Amino acid sequence: MIITNDEKALRIKCEPVLPEEVNQLVSILESELDKSNKLGNYGIGLAASQIGIAKHIAIIRLGENLNINLANAKIEKGYDLKLFPDEGCLSFPGRLENTMRYQEIYVTNNLVYPHRFIANGLLAVVCQHELDHLNENLFFDRSVKKDDKIKHGKVNPNDPCICGKIDNLTGKIKKFKKCCGRK
């Protein structure tokens, strides 16, 4: 069952998934996503942490021809940071947030094919969203107000960094200027 409206339960530390666990976990995630869709709670991605499994695996289902499994995956690079309006999450039904997301990302996907791929547009946003779940971040951590924080599609230096890296001293997401903004 998908965990809803429980921020603490959704911010669990995920352990690497083992190769022999991948198929069973993908089946469980697909089953839960199908149940949610049949109940009218439509989703296109689901991370193991959303169903209380602390493993670094997620699925993305964007139509018949685009099924991606993310197992121990990480984003290597991101380009073209832009406002993504009305991002939602199955774990927070009815809640929509304007977020900053890369429009193109390079993903390393260690245990499943494809092992490396480039994602653009909606697929890039969904990959970022699901990988955030696996790294103890939630979509509203990347929430921005159009008027206050975005000027010409850019992040202000003191905004939380969109990569979601945690500052070891504070336990919070690093500031943009001290993380990706330095590059």
Catalytic residues: 130
Burial label for 40, CB within 10 Å (0-12, 13-18, 19+), is exposed
